[in-house]
Structure 1
């Protein structure tokens, strides 16, 4: 049973830490920045790949720190991603983060994760997150590819139009929900 609670974090308003400067760190950083280009991220690693340095040159909200991980790097953070190739360091990151009540994800180690980085489909203001409860990232990837193909490119226009319509509605919350439900049901049937 998948008991995950899906949320969308405004990571541009949070301070995120990624520990790891190799391929896994690059993957996690790229995923985060693809979804939220203005995310505030500090990446800490003993060695940082040239690919990550190239991203940092274009990304003003990305700070690189070429040092070994120390617990003090968690100060002022909201979310931590451990992406090193050393299981002992990853376990230490998890332990340190949990002792500070921080959300933590240790790459490829579901039992050391408060959250997973699932598949994401983005078309304008529409964003869909896909999770397999950490069981099959490949399945999430295939579902993402499928949804990217079937969701129309002009869906953002529809969302904007519905938003404008919502602003014109008068009445209480229940009335507005009922009116919007009726409208969107008809729109989706016609599509």
Structure 2
């Protein structure tokens, strides 16, 4: 992030604009909306700015720019077609530690103007840091259609009740939950429909009831998908923004974690081979304790929580303690990784069924139904099978699959660090070891792997996305 987005108070403060043309007029219009005291430095004024001056909205210094014109200014803007003047304004402002914007010259700026969606007191700003202003305006146009004008009135209603809510609900957590319920429920709908008096009465009743009720915790068991944050569901995103605390695993990608509410507490409970941050029983107990404390808990897992994610064990414990919970399925590692690797799990010519298995080793052995795994015309997807890959391949051959049976290993699938190694049961383990593959990986065994060369579509480029949290 090259620019920190901030909102600055300009009411009653001096802002100097150098330039008297149409571009300067657009910037001055924004400053006037923010109730700034605007001084224009320019030999001449365009008709629009001349009218502003006649109306007493701006002051005018009819001169070429001199550094002393910035004395006492809070903000400086240059909107001229004179390169020397623009550079002089930038230098003078930075010498005085005054934020400065030189229109269409990002290298001379210490701040940039965003594209603005004004629903005062709600203001949304979109910026490309000066790199692509047209794209910023396109995004603003889309947001304009998504944010009704009535959101400004809703914000004013909240402001009228803010102090009362603060006095009657003692903790910040209680207040946040109260306001989220208001903004997502029927009271907000009443405001958006123009029934403001009804919304005020309903909000007062909601506050009276909330003050008498204790905090009630809840757990959201959410599948974070295989890594690419674009694969999250809308419901997952909504709950990720509501939670007070997130309990997350090793296979939740950094891109997905970036979408969790920023001020939520984060508790890592990831499991790796021979290194468990918390045993499963302790994770179950942690979820119960947090919910009983009145917290809204996001239990975030990679892939889908009900496919080798122990989600069933966790919500069973929650149910035993009477803790309310929601389950949000995610795109499983099998679905997502296979798709990004260009390997369909089923195909009319090769596989009419799919079998999921875990290759997790215990006591240096893998206890699987090898006879069921070694059947033709099916696809076998093996989770956590990297360490025991050689054993898995040998067992499948012993059960009758040909040595040249196709198989593949995908590392960090769906991310920009995805790697795919294809081979056969006879040589795959050696190829993967030679290539230095590391967890997390997924193994796919079956004739559908033959389609990889024809159907591969995802072209990862290192560095575009952070690696998984491990």
RMSD: 2.2
Query: Quick check: 1:24 aligned with 2:23?
Result: yes
Answer yes or no: is the 8 Å Cα contact 1:166–1:180 preserved in 2: no
Which residue pairs with 2:104 in the alignment? 108
Structure 1 residue aligned with 2:154, among 158, 167, 173?
A: 158
Which residue pairs with 1:175 in the alignment? 174
Matches within 5 A, 1:76-95: 76-95=72-91
Structure 2 residue aligned with 1:117, among 108, 113, 118?
A: 113
1:21 aligns to what SS in structure 2?
A: coil
User: d(CA) in 2 for partners of 1:121 and 1:187?
Assistant: 25
User: d(CA) in 1 for partners of 2:76 and 2:95?
Assistant: 13
Q: CA deviation at 1:90?
A: 0.7
User: d(CA) in 2 for partners of 1:11 and 1:158?
Assistant: 24
Unaligned runs of 5+ in 1: none
User: d(CA) in 1 for partners of 2:38 and 2:23?
Assistant: 15
User: d(CA) in 2 for partners of 1:157 and 1:95?
Assistant: 42
User: d(CA) in 1 for partners of 2:96 and 2:116?
Assistant: 28
User: d(CA) in 1 for partners of 2:115 and 2:186?
Assistant: 26
User: d(CA) in 2 for partners of 1:96 and 1:165?
Assistant: 45
Query: Quick check: 1:48 aligned with 2:64?
Result: no
With 169-178 and 60-69 compared, the bigger mean Cα shift is at 169-178
TM-score for the superposition, normalised by structure 1 = 0.87
In structure 2, relative to structure 1, the CA distance for the partners of 1:188 and 1:95 (3 Å cut) is farther
User: d(CA) in 2 for partners of 1:45 and 1:151?
Assistant: 38
In structure 2, relative to structure 1, the CA distance for the partners of 1:166 and 1:27 (3 Å cut) is closer
Deviations 1:135-184 (A, max 9, x none): 11112222222222221222123223333443332213333223223433
How many residue pairs get aligned? The number is 187
User: d(CA) in 1 for partners of 2:47 and 2:187?
Assistant: 46
Query: Quick check: 1:6 aligned with 2:13?
Result: no
Answer yes or no: is the 8 Å Cα contact 2:31–2:38 preserved in 1: no
Query: Quick check: 1:66 aligned with 2:62?
Result: yes
Structure 1 residue aligned with 2:140, among 123, 137, 144?
A: 144
With 162-171 and 112-121 compared, the bigger mean Cα shift is at 162-171
Query: Quick check: 1:134 aligned with 2:104?
Result: no
The structure where helix makes up a greater share of residues is 1
User: d(CA) in 2 for partners of 1:164 and 1:92?
Assistant: 46
User: d(CA) in 1 for partners of 2:40 and 2:101?
Assistant: 14
1:120 aligns to what SS in structure 2?
A: strand
In structure 2, relative to structure 1, the CA distance for the partners of 1:189 and 1:132 (3 Å cut) is farther
User: d(CA) in 2 for partners of 1:109 and 1:187?
Assistant: 47
User: d(CA) in 2 for partners of 1:39 and 1:15?
Assistant: 6
2:124 aligns to what SS in structure 1?
A: strand
Which ranges of 4 or more aligned residues in structure 1 deviate by more than 4 Å?
A: 185-191
In structure 2, relative to structure 1, the CA distance for the partners of 1:73 and 1:187 (3 Å cut) is farther
2:7 aligns to what SS in structure 1?
A: coil
User: d(CA) in 2 for partners of 1:185 and 1:66?
Assistant: 53
In structure 2, relative to structure 1, the CA distance for the partners of 1:72 and 1:187 (3 Å cut) is farther
Unaligned runs of 5+ in 2: 193-470
1:122 aligns to what SS in structure 2?
A: strand
Which residue pairs with 2:386 in the alignment? none
Q: Rg bigger for which structure?
A: 2
